[in-house]
Amino acid sequence: MILYILCFTLFLVGVYGLLTKRDLIKLILSLAIMGYAVNLFLVLFGYRSGAAYPIVTEGAAPGPMVDPLPQALVLTSIVIELGTTALLVALAIRLVEKYKTFDIHKIRRLFG
Amino acid sequence: MILPYFIAIPLLSAFLIALIAGRRDSWAILLSNVAATSLLILSVYVLAARHGETLIYEMGGWMPPLGIVLVQDALTGLMLVLVSLISLLSLIFSVSYIRHLDRSWRYYALFMLLITGMNGVIITGDLFNLFVFMEIALFSAFALVAYGGRAEEYEAAFKYAVMGALSSAIILIGIAVLYSATSTLTMAGIAEVLPEKDPKIMYWVGGLFLAGFGLKAAVIPFHAWLPDAHSSAPAPISAMLSGVLIKVPGIYVLMRVFMNVFGAPDLFMQTFLVLGTVSILIGVFLAVGQWDMKRLLAYHSISQIGYILLGMGLATPLGILGAVFHLFNHAVFKSLLFYNAGAVEVALGTRDLKRMGNLTRILPVTSLTSMVASLSISGIPPFNGFFSKLILIIAAIQAGRPGLALAAAVGSLLTLASFMKLQKYGFRGEREVKTVKATIGWGMKTAMIVLAVCCLLSSFLVMPGIREICLDPVVSVLLDPSRYIQMVMGR
């Protein structure tokens, strides 16, 4: 249970950063932290304490195993997050070139 | 066997475009148009030849609890036709439009990836697979919003990307919770197991999905990104975003998950009603005051999405019929309106309604089609918008909710007011405009005329005879979750 609470705290750290920070880079980092928390959630759901890795070998007695599917999902989701982060950083570079500032409050030509 | 083509054709053509298109864009245009045309033919064939029948395809031959299934039922068929139609016309429009920006193949490759993602979301029967396809569609959408390369476009794209990443994280938590509760990711399998579980799980996951997919659909508390992203993108992309992208990962998934997987729980239906009514009224109030043409149209997307949610929330056969019909109609007329805005922007170099004037003389096609689209969206009788709004209002009264019917009628009146403003200042103003900066290409004209004809023709979808083929199967799919489960799992 303590693991889940810690994991949720990590997610909240990300949300806090997203809501309060004004720096473009810190916003991207907050999103990344949120992503890590979600991935940890997924891995935790598949975890069984004391279980073996889910590969059946000849001769070994089949015991409790961890669920391999969330791990596969996490791999996919890590790749997606890599893509998101790369895209966000690329956009942030262009934003800084155009607006000459990292402050999100000064980047507001669109309104209404 | 036909189902994987809906993903394979656009994906393949996206990478082929990247490989063979040299410095010029002619190969890219040819390939993407051929791919989009073949998708349209395939989707119409599937809808017409196999109506009412559910097609299942197991990827790699793995049966549903283990592998990923592709599912084609009536709702999927209708959405595929819609996506293919709008994307083909947007590509034809782009041929003339994008050359005003640059002559690169990148636009077409990204466009095909966008179609891949949306078709994948529509056709998949697996929740995590849906998430992956949704990300493909959104990535290309972020890049395409920023395509013009001006400061505002990067700003809008950044905002959109942050919102998209946030909602994806929320959706992924929902999927994880659902998986840990039901031990399966196939949507039909989840629907089978979920009634035996604690209903609290459904409410938790439903809340997460409502926030996540609601953000993609730009329902009112989650709408802040939409006006920026939709008004900054190039016009054909605005048409794709407003026409289909807010519906496919947004409304379609909400329908599928809340109707078919969760079995239309009362709490969420009430929430849809509230969110829908709020979206209708606030969206239209925000729209009336706008002077930027594309921004005005973008706010109307929020309001029209509200109508669809209202119909869904009623959860009566007539309400769902209205919702699905309005979904189709909104895609048609809102895309047309964004094409008009794009054409005016090319011709006059402005989107500000105050700087336009009488365009009927110099842009006859644009002003005529914009009139058709404005009448459609305001709900004037011979056009499609009238019928879907009428059905929604009748459904609300029949369900014993006259207050909601009144809200929908007021929203419709305000829509009429704001489009009268658009016509009065934008296209039929007092100041005579004599010179244009650039002429409107044949591709743009063709796309606008075809969609204007569609505005009239899609009224016939609700006529007896055609309705039994197109809309009634969709309603029965959404109202009867047990049939969906049986079709996918039952063997």
Binary contact (A87, B179; C-beta < 8 A):
no
Binary contact (B132, A27; C-beta < 8 A):
no
Instruction: Report domain extents, chain A.
Output: 2-53+64-99
Binary contact (B180, A45; C-beta < 8 A):
yes
* Residue B53 neighbours by CB distance under 10 Å: 13
Binary contact (A95, B155; C-beta < 8 A):
yes
Q: Are B69 and B190 in contact (CB under 8 A)?
A: no
Chain B contact set for A99 (CB, 8 A): 151, 155
Query: Which chain A residue lies closest to B181 (C-alpha atoms)?
Result: A45
Q: What is the second-level CATH architecture of the domain A2-53+64-99?
A: Orthogonal Bundle (1.10)
Determine contact: B152 vs chain A, CB below 8 A: yes
Q: Which of A27, A73, A87 sits opposite B128 (nearest CB)?
A: A73
Binary contact (B169, A88; C-beta < 8 A):
no
Binary contact (A73, B156; C-beta < 8 A):
no
Binary contact (A95, B158; C-beta < 8 A):
yes
The ipTM of this complex is: 0.93
Chain B contact set for A43 (CB, 8 A): none
| Predicted local distance difference test score (pLDDT) of residue B12 | 94
The tens-digit pLDDT sequence of chain B (491 residues) is 788 999 999 999 999 998 987 777 788 889 999 999 999 999 998 888 766 677 888 888 887 777 888 988 888 989 999 999 999 999 999 988 888 877 788 899 999 999 999 999 999 989 999 999 999 999 999 999 999 888 889 999 999 999 999 999 999 999 999 999 988 888 888 988 888 888 899 999 999 999 999 999 999 888 888 988 998 899 999 999 998 999 999 999 999 999 989 888 889 999 999 999 999 999 999 999 888 999 999 999 999 999 999 999 998 999 999 999 999 999 999 999 999 999 998 888 888 888 888 888 888 889 999 999 999 999 888 888 899 999 999 999 999 889 999 999 999 999 999 999 988 888 888 877 777 788 888 889 999 999 999 988 888 888 888 888 788 888 888 888 888 888 887 75
Query: Which chain A residue lies closest to B180 (C-alpha atoms)?
Result: A45
- Selected for mutation to probe chain B from A8, A13, A79, A80 (highest B CB count within 10 Å) is A80
Q: Which of A31, A83, A87 sits opposite B166 (nearest CB)?
A: A31
Binary contact (B152, A112; C-beta < 8 A):
no
Chain B contact set for A94 (CB, 8 A): 146, 154
Determine contact: B351 vs chain A, CB below 8 A: no
Determine contact: A17 vs chain B, CB below 8 A: no
- Selected for mutation to probe chain B from A12, A24, A48, A84 (highest B CB count within 10 Å) is A84
Q: Are A77 and A38 in contact (CB under 8 A)?
A: yes
